[in-house]
Every structure is written in structure tokens, then in C-alpha cells.
A and B are shown apart, each in its own frame.
Chain A
Amino acid sequence: MPSKFTDEYDRVKANLAIPSNTDKLSAEEQKLIDNLILLMEASGPAPGHAAALDTLREQCQRGLFKRIFGMDKDREANGILDLSRTDATKNKKAAALKTLRHLYLLSKFGGHDAWALSLPKSYRNWATGELENADADSLKTKLKDINEYHTKRDLKNLQHASQKALAWSQKANVICDSVGPNTIGRKLIQRWFADEDHQSDAKISALAARLSTGFQKISRACNSGRMILTDDPTVRGDGNWENSEAFAYRLGGQRLNVIYIEKAFFGKGNTLEGSKNWARILIHELTHSQLNTDDVTVPGDAHPRYSWHPQGIKPRKDSFHTEYAMNNADSWAFFAVDAAGMLTNSERNVALNPKP
């Protein structure tokens, strides 16, 4: 069963503030801790304080010459332990710092602000749980581990995906503003949401208003500077979760705006592939967390209405009516990709229609 990052975030925030009770921190070290505490705002990490994360990483990486020649092999761990000078609570504070050592502001790679957390691959828990009962040797080993779950290339791709998700959501919102006869907005709403009973001007306009409000919320969440992308280390090895592309808690499920990026995210096999699919996934997940959508399973079906569903996701009065489509995350996501002009005819047909 997954474990929410929001809970870990609150633990990290609390443990970061544990004062040193063995040996006073230097003014420079205390300043770093203070800046990290400022970073940890209740609504998520504040981009304005992201520089503290780089300082923390420098603390763990300094002395390159010594490290290369094996004279300071434990620098990565010592960088954190130097800042964790407490007695009984040392592991907790070290875990808080270890989490932040792997937190990145993605706008470093260009574009708008979003966050990515990439804990070491070997972890099977959030850092607080992973380090909680570790003895001194094991603690050092775990702190030294910087082989991250998401590579730097993954992080760059996530940044681009997040940028696209924002642009496409904004475009979808604009398109919903104009749904008169022969407009692209009307055509797209008919294509992805309007069944045979929802073809009138009044009904199309009502759907357009709901979609517009929804895409505004998605754009805001994506552009808030507080969206966090991470995998959930507690489900590593659990095929039910880890083999998904991504998942998110539905509206009200957790305080922070977190999307859990899982193993299949960068894989193949879905209707779309590559950066187009990554942006589609982020919009899909944002509709869960911001609009409370579902992956709608029509009674009698084995699969939810993903684009690859044998019957497709074209709205049909008798089998996948308008309210199902309006509640279905992939319908929203494909609408946005289509609104951005990014779907090929073939991809659109696969998503909408029954498969041979």
C-alpha cells in the first residue's frame, strides 16, 4: 500500500528543526539549516529558497580532489552527518537532510518551476523510515548512496513534460472559451465528451464551462511552483503500483500537489509514446488530484476507460455516456493533447474507437 509523500514532508520539516544538543553548529551550518527550514513551506517547497539545496549538495560533494583519490570516501555521508549533530535523534535529522539532498527544482533545466525528488534506488521507504533504525555503519552506507531512482536525464524529461502539460492545459482552456458552430472547441468537445444526448448548443456550452474551469485549475496547479514529482519508494517492487506509469491521490487525498512517477512512465506500450505521452500522463494525474476524476470502469468491463480500452473512449450514449467521459481522466488528458494539435490521426483513432 502506498504511503503519502505529504506525511514524509511534514516529518522532514519537523526533524529539520531538531536543535543540535551535542556540539554547536557553525554559523554557516546553522544558516544552511535555517534556509532549508524556510524552504519547507506548508504548501510545498518554496522555489525562492531552492539555492539552499545546492548549498547542501555542495556540502556533500566538496573536496573533489580528496574524494577522487579516496581520501574522503565518506564525504557524501559526512556532509549530512556534520549537520546532524544530535544524540538520539541523529537518524531523524540525517533522514531529513538526505531527503533534501535528493530534491531538485526542475526549472534549473529550463522553463517553469516544478520539483522532483529522486531518492536512492536501493531505498524501500521514505528516508525517515529507511534510516530510522539504522546503526552507525548502515546509516553511513545509506547516506553515501546517491544512485538515484530517476536519472538526471529523467529529471530533464520530467521538466519538459511538465512544461508541455502546462502549455497544453492552458491551450485546452482557451479552446473551451469558444464553442460556437464550426469552432475547433465545439468539434473537440463533441469528439471527446458529448454523446448523442449532448449535441445541443446549450449542452455543449455547459460542458465547455466545466472543462474550462477544470483546465484553469490544472494550469494553476501545474504552474504553482509547488508541484512535486517523485516515485513512491514504499511500493518499489509492488507490481500493483510500481508498474503503473504514474498515480496521484484524488482531490482531498493529500495536502501537497504530488504526482508519483513510476516505472512505466518512461516506457513504451501506451497509445502515445515519448514526451507526448509524458505530458499526457501528467495532465491525467492532475485531473485526479485537482478535479477528483476517476479511471472510469463501466460496469461489466474488465478495464478502466484508458485510451487503449478495447472499446476506446469515444462518448456513446449506450456504453460510455457523457458523464462517464467527464469523470474519466484519460478523456480529459486526450482532449488536452488534441487541443494542442499534438495527436496524429492514427493516435486519435486508436484512442477513440474500438480496437480490431
Chain B
Amino acid sequence: MIPRRASLGTGAALIMVTVSLALWAGGAQDSQNPSADKEIDTMSPDLPGSGASRVPPPKVDALERNGIRYEPALSGLPLDATDVSGWMRATNIASGEVLWLAQVYTNPDPVDPFLPGGGRNMIAMKRISMSGNMIEVEDIRGRRFLVDPETGTSTPSGG
């Protein structure tokens, strides 16, 4: 009796799991229209996640000094960058040569799996200016960093 009951229970559980998964998959495709276009429904495989509409970050003026332009890097980041905050590029204005591309600050927030873009918002730059012989960068959260103009290495400067 006992083994048989266990086997029935296991069978019932398996059926329930299968039905639940099938129902979930159906619901995930389209709760309103089960015959909807499959191509549309599988646009992005990552669930549940979210999408957001956002306004652009503040525009930051590039800093030009000794023939070199220092600016936020918004493209051309390393393809494996999981944190897109704080990237900066130094370019020789005359030759167009990129002297360095560096991440001068990071996003300290824990990964939020519901946030679009890999679970971390980009913390935008607010200002790039000179501070003595160093470049000072401020982000939209008010954090400040001193950046070596030669190498792009940075340290927090308080504030």
C-alpha cells in the first residue's frame, strides 16, 4: 500500500508540475490571445525583467587641455563591460588617437534583477573640470573623483 500510494503521489505531482509549467508558458506567451504571433512573443527571452522610459542624462561639456579632449565615453566601451557607469575617454585632438579609455567610477548599487540593462542603471557624469594638475569628475549623485590626465586612473576626492 505504502509504495503504491507514494508512486501515485509522485505521478500526481509530476502531472501537476507539467500542467503548471504548460499553463505558465501559455500565460507567458499571451494571456489574452493564445494564438498570437510566436515571433513577436519571443522577442526577448529574459523574464521577468522590466523596461523603462527614461529622459537623457545631463549634457556634459568635454574638457580640452594641452591638445587633449577628455569626455564621457558613451560608445566603444569594452564589450564585456557589465557596469557602464563612469567611462571616460582621452583623445588627441590633432591626430584623433585615443590615448586611454578608463572607468573612473563604478556603480556601487547591488544588481537589481528587475532593472533593464543588466540590472544596473548607468550613473551619468555631471561635470568634468580641472583641479590643480588633475581632472575632477563629478557624477549625478554628487560623488567626485580625481583622474590622472596621463593614465585615466582615478581616486575618490570626497564631496
Residues of A within 8 A of B (CB): 1-2, 209-210, 213-214, 217, 220-221, 224, 239-241, 243-255, 264, 267, 269-270, 280-281, 284-285, 287-288, 290-295, 297, 299-304, 306, 308, 310-311, 326-327, 329-330
A308 in contact with B56 given A213-B36, A251-B47, A291-B40 (CB within 8 Å): yes
B32-76 near A? 1/0 per residue, CB < 8 Å = 110011011111101111111111100000000000000011111
Query: Is the Cβ of A224 less than 8 Å from the Cβ of B32?
Result: yes
Q: Which of chain B's residues have a CB closer than 8 A to the CB of A284?
A: 51, 53
Stretch at the interface among B10-18, B114-122, B128-136, B148-156: B114-122
Chain B nearest CB from A334 CB (Å) reads 12
Closest to A259 in B: B53
Query: Is the Cβ of B53 less than 8 Å from the Cβ of A250?
Result: no
B73-103 near A? 1/0 per residue, CB < 8 Å = 1111111010010010000000000000000
A295 in contact with B74 given A217-B30, A220-B32 (CB within 8 Å): no
Q: Is B21 an interface residue (CB 8 A)?
A: no
Chain B nearest CB from A40 CB (Å) reads 17
Q: Which of chain B's residues have a CB closer than 8 A to the CB of A252?
A: 24, 27-29, 47-48
Query: Is the Cβ of A294 less than 8 Å from the Cβ of B43?
Result: yes
Chain A nearest CB from B83 CB (Å) reads 10
Q: Beyond A249-B50, A301-B84, list 12 extra A-B contacts (CB 8 Å).
A: A2-B114, A240-B121, A243-B54, A245-B52, A245-B55, A247-B51, A281-B53, A294-B44, A295-B117, A302-B73, A304-B54, A308-B56
The listed residue (B42, B43, B49, B79) touching A249 by CB distance below 8 A is: B49
Query: Is the Cβ of B47 less than 8 Å from the Cβ of A310?
Result: no
The listed residue (A251, A255, A300, A306) touching B75 by CB distance below 8 A is: A300
21 A-B pairs whose Cβ atoms sit less than 8 Å apart in the complex:
A220-B32, A248-B50, A250-B44, A250-B50, A251-B28, A251-B47, A255-B31, A269-B55, A292-B42, A292-B44, A294-B44, A295-B52, A295-B117, A299-B79, A300-B78, A300-B81, A302-B87, A304-B54, A306-B53, A308-B56, A330-B53
Query: Is the Cβ of B55 less than 8 Å from the Cβ of A300?
Result: no
The listed residue (A247, A306, A311) touching B56 by CB distance below 8 A is: A306
A326 in contact with B43 given A213-B36, A217-B32, A308-B56 (CB within 8 Å): yes
Closest to A245 in B: B53
Closest to B28 in A: A252
Q: Which of chain A's residues have a CB closer than 8 A to the CB of B43?
A: 291-294, 326-327
Query: Is the Cβ of B56 less than 8 Å from the Cβ of A269?
Result: yes
The listed residue (B41, B50, B52, B74) touching A303 by CB distance below 8 A is: B74
A245 in contact with B54 given A240-B121, A250-B47 (CB within 8 Å): yes
Q: Which of chain B's residues have a CB closer than 8 A to the CB of A209?
A: 37
Query: Is the Cβ of A217 less than 8 Å from the Cβ of B56?
Result: no
Q: Which of chain A's residues have a CB closer than 8 A to the CB of B117?
A: 295, 297, 304
* Nearest 7 interchain pairs by C-beta: A252-B28, A253-B48, A288-B51, A247-B52, A213-B37, A308-B56, A269-B55
Cα-based distance from A290 to B50 in the complex (angstroms): 12
Query: Is the Cβ of B40 less than 8 Å from the Cβ of A217?
Result: yes
A221 in contact with B37 given A281-B53, A302-B84, A327-B43 (CB within 8 Å): no
Q: Which of chain A's residues have a CB closer than 8 A to the CB of B109?
A: 240
Q: Which of chain B's residues have a CB closer than 8 A to the CB of A290?
A: 30
The listed residue (B53, B55, B77, B141) touching A329 by CB distance below 8 A is: B53
Chain B nearest CB from A44 CB (Å) reads 11
Most chain A beta carbons < 10 A, residue from B24, B40, B78: B40
Q: Which of chain B's residues have a CB closer than 8 A to the CB of A247?
A: 50-53
Query: Is the Cβ of A253 less than 8 Å from the Cβ of B78?
Result: no
Query: Is the Cβ of B51 less than 8 Å from the Cβ of A221?
Result: no
Q: Which of chain B's residues have a CB closer than 8 A to the CB of A293?
A: 43-44, 51
Cα-based distance from A252 to B25 in the complex (angstroms): 9
Chain A nearest CB from B55 CB (Å) reads 4
Cα-based distance from A80 to B141 in the complex (angstroms): 41
Q: Which of chain B's residues have a CB closer than 8 A to the CB of A297?
A: 84, 116-118
Cα-based distance from A209 to B38 in the complex (angstroms): 12
Query: Is the Cβ of A310 less than 8 Å from the Cβ of B40?
Result: no
Chain A nearest CB from B154 CB (Å) reads 17
Q: Which of chain B's residues have a CB closer than 8 A to the CB of A248?
A: 50-52
Query: Is the Cβ of B40 less than 8 Å from the Cβ of A214?
Result: yes
Cα-based distance from A285 to B50 in the complex (angstroms): 9
Closest to B47 in A: A252
